[in-house]
Structure 1
Amino acid sequence: MMWFLALGLLLMLLKWLEFGPVAEWAWWQTMVPLGLAIVWWTWADFSGYTKRKRMEKDAKRHDDRIQRLRKNLGQIQRPK
């Protein structure tokens, strides 16, 4: 998830700038969210989650385009 990546980058920046309590953490502790992001992306690719979400997005775009074309042609829209 992108939240893991954003959190990891934020923690790295805070560690590098030696800001707040993060300055006293070990570097590996600031890298944990980046590791979780890698685990998430690996799981998403191997499980088919990424491909399924992309196919759902493409199907929605296709349906929206057909509905828009029908509306522009003045045809009655089919109920879903």
Structure 2
Amino acid sequence: MWFLLLGLLGVGLKYFEVGPVAGWSWWLVLSPFALALAWWAWADSSGYTKRKVMEREARRKQVRIDRQRANMGLPNRDGQRTRR
């Protein structure tokens, strides 16, 4: 995502001829897009993306379980009783 934002910023600065970016080669300005493509290809092929999604879902599930246990007056996963 950062490579994509950096690429968009570079293209905008190059197009509007702002600062030193105006003198840079288009290859240099467009290189963050190639890096973003390489990152996404690696993340998908290595399972990084899927692993992050699973971790996020597990955190959301645990928060929901803890909230329900607290509402019932049962101890949470740390063994502490909490009641709202």
The TM-score normalised by the length of structure 2 is 0.89
CA separation in 1, counterparts of 2:17 and 2:63?
50
Higher relative contact order (CA 8 A, sep 6+): 1
The residue that corresponds to 2:19 in the other structure is 20
Q: In the alignment, which residue of structure 2 is the partner of 1:48?
A: 47
Identity of aligned residues (%): 56
Give the unaligned 5+ runs of structure 1: none
Matches within 5 A, 1:28-47: 28-47=27-46
Q: Segments of 4+ in structure 1 off by > 2 A? A: none
User: What amino acid is aligned across from residue 26 of structure 2 in structure 1?
Assistant: W
Of 18-27 and 37-46, the range deviating more from structure 2:
18-27
Number of corresponding residues: 79
Bigger Rg, structure 1 or 2 = 2
Give the number of the structure whose residues are more often helix, by fraction: 1
Unmatched segments (≥5 aa) in structure 2:
80-84
Structure-1 residue corresponding to 2:82: none
